[in-house]
Amino acid sequence: MKSLSAALPLASALIATLFLVGCATTTAGSGTTGKAVCTVLQPVRWSAADTDETIRQVKANNAAGKVVCGWR
């Protein structure tokens, strides 16, 4: 039991480190990296059959596309 209690602080430190690594943030870099997605993505259209929530999400997606990709 003594070896288990000796290993507990090390194990706790390793687990805490893994949680902290999972919280790391990333950046897009120079700005041109983010624009590469504009060659693939296009504005989304909705139909009358779509729900209000779907239309809200489409409008939010398209608003982001206007900012990032210059969609009209």
Burial of 44 (0-12, 13-18, 19+ CB in 10 A): middle
Per-residue pLDDT, 19: 66
Q: Which helix (H) or strand (E) holds 64?
A: helix 52-69
Q: Where are the domains of the chain?
A: 2-69
Give the global pTM.
0.51
Q: What is the pLDDT of residues 8-62, one digit of tens each?
A: 777 777 677 666 666 655 555 555 556 788 888 899 999 999 999 999 999 999 9
Residue bearing tokens 């041109």: 32
